[in-house]
Structure 1
Amino acid sequence: VAACGGSVAGKTVAVLGVAFKPNTDDMRDSPSLDIVPALQAAGATVRAYDPAAMHEAEKLLPGVEWSKDVYGTLEGADCVAILTEWNEFRALDLRRVKALLKAPVMVDLRNIYNPDDMAQAGFVYTSIGRPTPAKA
């Protein structure tokens, strides 16, 4: 919410990864079970994609718009949040990501990107437990 200027009301948040960990559809103890409902309660529309866990997640996360692929999830979203460290998310075409988002805002809860690289790519980048780089 802070990465979106303090409010997600009326905004679309693209969520990449809802499974507990990559290479599984296991939803037990997944952070998405807390994060997605909190975003929805704050007024956000959540659009999500996970390579394996969407079928299981649909049962546990009502009201989510499910996408067929990563880039469809990002199209027109106000920001993107990475919740699971799938290899597919480590290899995103960042130029394409930036072009698809309304604003180049990324919240990386798995620290899969380098903060300095993200700043150079023009993203407002938030990660966990690391200092925020100077803006490009």
Structure 2
Amino acid sequence: MAMAASTTEGEPMMDINTTPLIDVMLVLLIMFIITIPIQTHAVKLDLPVDTGQNTPPPVDPVKNKVVITPDNQVLWNGSPIDLVRLRQYLDITQTMNPIPELHLEPDGQARYDLVDRVLAVTKRAQVEKMGFVGNEKYAGAF
């Protein structure tokens, strides 16, 4: 280390001696490194194996689509269902957080009576987020 030359003899040195501070910091660093336990233990987990036969859940957490076909069949996300099962699925969606959207797409050739019954089921289930999809198909009907 370099020392500053003083001009007058007997005057006290005004610089701080940092050597003991560095020594103490190095000793503390070595103590921390030694006292940290080495992470050598392992946790054994039995993870599930994908069999490829898992079916997706019938209720999508983001959006669900109800289609009424021309042959008067109600489809929930592409799977045929009856009105009782529709009500069960709608009740499940209303308990989720956040509530998924319901997209209703009735075909132009479907019976109005069935569409009305589906709307009644959605009203009784108190669906909050619902929209009609495919209205552009009816633009030239009137």
Q: TM-score, normalised by structure 1?
A: 0.31
Q: Determine which structure has greater relative contact order: mean sequence separation of CA pairs < 8 Å that are 6+ residues apart, divided by chain length.
A: 1
Q: TM-score, normalised by structure 2?
A: 0.30
State which structure, 1 or 2, has the greater radius of gyration over its C-alpha atoms: 2
